[in-house]
Amino acid sequence: MKSTKNIEKFEYGFGQHLIIDGYGANREKLMDLDFIYNFLSKYPEEIQMTKIMPPYVFKYYAPVPEDWGISGFVIIAESHISIHTFPEKLYLSVDVFSCKPFDVDKAIKDIIEIFEIKKSEIKFFDRGLEFPRSIRAVENFIRMERKDLII
C-alpha cells in the first residue's frame, strides 16, 4: 500500500455531498409546488453557487395515495441541488452536491429552518477522494506512484 501522507488534501477530491432527511416538516410547504420551485431557484445563490438553468419541479401521484409528493432539482455549475417531498408523511429529502466547497453548517441550518424540520438525519460525504483537482499540483505524486510501479 502506498503512503499518501505527503499529499495535501486540497489537491484531491471532486466535491462535497450533503444529504438531509427531514421529518416533521411543514406540510403546507412540502405540498406547495411554487414554494419548492422558489427554494430551488433562489437557494444556490445563498451558498454562493451558480444556477445554470431554471429548476425542474413536478408533482408525483403515487399508486399509494399517501406517497404523493413534489420532486425537483436545479442544475448548478458546481453540480446540483435536489429535493423530494412526501407531504402526507411530513418528510423530505434534500441533496446538495457541489465540486466547490460550501458552508455545510449554513446549508443544514437554512434547510431545517426553511422547511421547519423537527427531526433530521444528516449525512455528509467528500466525494471522488482520488480525483485530482489540478494535474500540475499532483504531477510529482503521479511520477512517484508510477516510479513505484516500475520498480
Sketch out the chain's domains with CATH numbers.
Answer: 15-132 (3.60.90.10)
| Regions of the chain where pLDDT drops below 50 | 1-11
Q: What is residue 129's predicted lDDT score, i.e. its pLDDT?
A: 62
Residue 79: what residue type?
A: S
Q: What is residue 130's predicted lDDT score, i.e. its pLDDT?
A: 64
Q: What is residue 138's predicted lDDT score, i.e. its pLDDT?
A: 55
Task: Please confirm, yes or no, whether 84 is among the known catalytic residues.
Answer: yes
Task: Please confirm, yes or no, whether 82 is among the known catalytic residues.
Answer: no
3-state helix, strand, coil in the chain (%, to 5): 35, 35, 30
Q: What is residue 9's predicted lDDT score, i.e. its pLDDT?
A: 41
Candidates 80, 84, 98, 134; catalytic one: 84
Q: What is residue 150's predicted lDDT score, i.e. its pLDDT?
A: 59
Candidates 80, 93, 99, 120; catalytic one: 99
Q: What is residue 78's predicted lDDT score, i.e. its pLDDT?
A: 85
Answer for the pair 83, 97: CB distance below 8 angstroms, yes or no. Answer: no
Candidates 79, 80, 82, 134; catalytic one: 79
Q: What is residue 146's predicted lDDT score, i.e. its pLDDT?
A: 65
Taking the CA atoms of 118, 46, 123 and 89 in sequence, report the sign of the dihedral they define: positive
C-alpha cell, 50: 451558480
Task: Please confirm, yes or no, whether 17 is among the known catalytic residues.
Answer: no
Per-residue CA distances from 29 to 51, 134, 138, 140, 145 (Å): 22, 42, 46, 52, 52
Length of the chain: 151
